[in-house]
Amino acid sequence: VHSYEKYNDLDTINAWSANIAAQNPGLVSRSQIGSSYEGRPLYLLKVGKSGSNKKAIFIDCGFHAREWVSPAFCQWFVKDAVESYGVNSQVTNLLNNLDFYVLPVMNVDGYVYTWSSNRMWRKTRSVNKNSSCIGTDPNRNFNAGWCTVGASSRACDDTYCGASPESEIESKALANFIRSNLSSIKAYVTIHSYSQMLLFPYSYSYSLAKDHTELNNVAKGAVSALTALYGTKYTYGPGGTTIYLAAGGSDDWAYDTGVKYSFTFELRDTGRYGFTLPESQIKPTCEETLLAVKYIANHVLNNA
């Protein structure tokens, strides 16, 4: 049975997404942007009041299979939208004027594998040529300095970049969707854990993004909104200097493809529990993160 304050398995998340779309027809719709390597559907929710020429924000969760609080956030985000629309003026304004595309679990095969076999699995579950090792790191698989730094060309490694950019069917589906909707998508937000950081381009080099000053200011405001709720400390800045150099990430790819407001969240915690964040922390983590995402969304609405 689905709960926003528990970790839900993929079947439960898929049933939830069908349900929340069915129960909120004027606000939420579900489509499929592709299928995973093992043949599972990649469902995408579109959240917003229908209107013409709306700007959109793309949010994904569950790139890395073991980062369970990430899909929990995507579910929480949609719940907050449907419960707050018409009740909270900020949310109502955001949903009247923006569409949010929410991909609750990007790496569905990996997520299922963390439930069935290995809680610490990170990568996809695709078979690699000339290796018995399975999977590619989906966040090393995008065409942004691909496999030049902070990524491995060895299939057995956790940061394997894959045979080529978008070799993974899940990366390709995501990239194709964003390419097809580039005229409306003004922001890209990808949710990971853990480290309590808000990152923006670049991570494939130390070069400053052309929009560095604005992105830094947005990140600063978003982090201060987040911290205001429970005092959770976040650092922010370009990925390369704030966490580490790592090429092939979806954030850098989205930015270089033309999505100016491109951010990676690393949610709680800083290592005490790490990927196995207790369920008791789902609610506070999601509530504080929501404030940061809404801060970014307001900036996009007013500036993009």
Nearest CB to Zn ion, comparing residues 186 and 192: 192
Q: Note the residues at the interface with Zn ion (CB under 5 A).
A: 64, 67, 192
User: What is the number of the residue whose Cβ is closest to ligand 0X9?
Assistant: 249
- Cβ proximity to Zn ion, 123 vs 186, nearer residue: 123
Taking the complex as a whole, how short is the minimal distance between the CB of residue 122 and ligand 0X9, in angstroms? 7
Q: Report how far residue 186's alpha carbon sits from residue 176's, in angstroms, rounded to the nearest whole number.
A: 16
Assess contact for 249 and 139: CB atoms under 8 A.
Answer: yes
**Distance in angstroms (rounded) separating the CA atoms of residues 3 and 7:** 7
In the bound state with Zn ion, the residue whose beta carbon lies nearer, of 75 and 193, is 193
Q: How far is the CB of 107 from ligand 0X9 (least distance, A)?
A: 12
Min separation Cβ 250 and ligand 0X9, Å:
7
**Secondary-structure percent of the chain, ordered helix, strand, coil, rounded to 5:** 40, 20, 40
Smallest distance from Zn ion to CB 215, Å: 20
Which of the choices ligand 0X9, Zn ion, none does residue 27 contact, using the CB cut-off of 5 to 8 A by kind? none
Q: Of the two residues 64 and 186, which places its CB atom closer to Zn ion in the complex? A: 64
Sign of the C-alpha dihedral computed for residues 169, 173, 174 and 180 taken in this order: positive
CB-based contacts of 16, cutoff 8 Å, min separation 6: 2, 8, 75
Could you list the residues that contact ligand 0X9 (CB under 6 A)? 64, 67, 139, 192, 199, 203, 239, 243, 246, 249, 251-252, 264, 266
Q: Which does 10 bind (CB under 5 to 8 A by kind): ligand 0X9, Zn ion, none?
A: none
Q: Please work out, in degrees rounded to the nearest 5, the angle formed at the alpha carbon of residue 183 by the alpha carbons of 180 and 185.
A: 85
**Structure tokens, 63:** 């790139």
Q: Residue 240 binds which one of Zn ion, ligand 0X9, none, with CB within 5 to 8 A depending on kind?
A: none
Q: Per the residue annotation, which of 83, 266, 287, 288 is the catalytic one?
A: 266
Residue 266 designated active-site: yes
The DSSP string of 193-216 is ESSSEEEES-SSSSPPPTTHHHHH
Give 121's contacts (C-beta < 8 A, 6+ positions apart).
Answer: 65, 66, 110, 113, 114, 135
Task: Give catalytic residue positions.
Answer: 266
